[in-house]
Amino acid sequence: MMKVLDTKLCLVLSVLCSVHFLVQFSHGGEDTIHRSQFPEGFLFGTSTSSYQIEGAYLEDGKGLTNWDVFSHTPGKIKHNDNGDIADDHYHRYLEDIELMSSLGVNAYRFSISWARILPRGIYGGINAKGIMFYNKIIDNLLLRGIEPFVTMHHHDLPQELEERYGGWLSPLIKRDFVHFAKICFESFGDRVKYWTTINEPNLFTEMAYVRGTYPPGHCSPPFGNCSVGNSDAEPLIAMHNALLSHAMAVHLYRNHFQAKQGGTVGIIANTFMYEPLRDEECDRLAADRALAFIIAWVFDPLVFGDYPIEMRNILGSRLPRFSSNEKSLIKGSLDFIGMNHYSTLYVKDCSCSACSSACSPAGDHAIRGFLETTGFRDGIPIGDLTGMPRFFVVPRGMEKIVDYMKTRYPNMPLFITENGYSAPPKQDAALHDFLQDFDRMKFHKAYLAALLRAIRKGADVRGYFIWSLMDNFEWVDGYGTRFGLYYVKRQTLERIPKISVKWFSSFLNFSTLTLENDLSKQDLKEQI
Q: Which residues form the interface with ligand BGC (CB under 6 A)?
A: 49, 52, 199-200, 203, 270, 340, 418, 467, 474, 483
User: In angstroms, what CA-CA distances link 323 with 202, 301, 331, 370, 397?
Assistant: 22, 12, 12, 27, 36
For residues 435 and 437, give the distance between their C-alpha atoms in angstroms, rounded to a whole number.
6
Neighbours of 59 (CB within 10 A): 14
Residue 342 CB, shortest distance to ligand BGC, in Å, is 7
| DSSP per-residue string spanning 311-342 | HHHHHGGGS----HHHHHHHTT--SEEEEE--
Report the run of H or E that residue 268 belongs to, with start and end. Answer: strand 264-270
**368 and 289 Cβ atoms separated by less than 8 Å:** no
**Minimum distance from CB of 481 to ligand BGC (Å)?**
7
Least distance in Å: CB of 442 to ligand BGC? 18
User: Is 52 or 261 the residue whose CB approaches ligand BGC more closely?
Assistant: 52
- For residue 492, give the 3-state DSSP assignment: coil
Q: Is 418 a catalytic residue?
A: yes
Nearer to ligand BGC, 63 or 201 (CB): 201
Q: Amino acid identity, residue 256?
A: H
Q: How far is the CB of 268 from ligand BGC (least distance, A)?
A: 8
Task: Tell me whether residue 68 or residue 418 sits nearer to ligand BGC (CB atom).
Answer: 418
Q: How far is the CB of 155 from ligand BGC (least distance, A)?
A: 7
> Catalytic one among 54, 147, 200, 206?
200
Q: Which is nearer to ligand BGC, 234 or 474 (CB)?
A: 474
Residue 157: phi and psi, rounded to 5, are -115, 140
Name beta bridge partners: 109. 47, 149
**Distance (Å, whole) CA 100 – CA 202:** 29
Name the CA radius of gyration of the chain, rounded. 23
d(CA 182, CA 179): 5
Query: Which residue lies nearer to ligand BGC by CB, 52 or 140?
Result: 52
**CB of 300 vs ligand BGC, minimal distance in Å:** 21
Number of residues in the chain: 528
Three-class SS of residue 248? helix
Which residue of the set 162, 372, 418, 474 is catalytic? 418
How far is CA 63 from each of CA 55, 351, 387, rounded to the nearest angstrom? Answer: 12, 46, 32
**Do the bridges between strand 380-381 and strand 376-377 make them parallel or antiparallel, or are there none, so unpaired?**
antiparallel
SS3 511: coil
Q: Which is nearer to ligand BGC, 418 or 437 (CB)?
A: 418
372 is known as an active-site residue: no
Cis preceding-peptide flag for 351 (omega within 30 of 0): no
Of the candidates 97, 109, 113, 195, the one whose C-alpha atom is nearest the C-alpha of residue 418 is 109
CB atoms within 10 A of CB 184: 24
Of 49 and 187, the one with the shorter C-beta distance to ligand BGC is: 49
Question: Least distance (Å) from ligand BGC to the CB of residue 428?
Answer: 24
Question: For residues 453 and 482, which CB has a smaller minimum distance to ligand BGC in the complex?
Answer: 482
SS3 helix, strand, coil % of the chain, rounded to 5? 50, 15, 40
Question: Min. distance of Cβ 528 from ligand BGC in angstroms?
Answer: 27
What positions carry a catalytic annotation? 200, 418
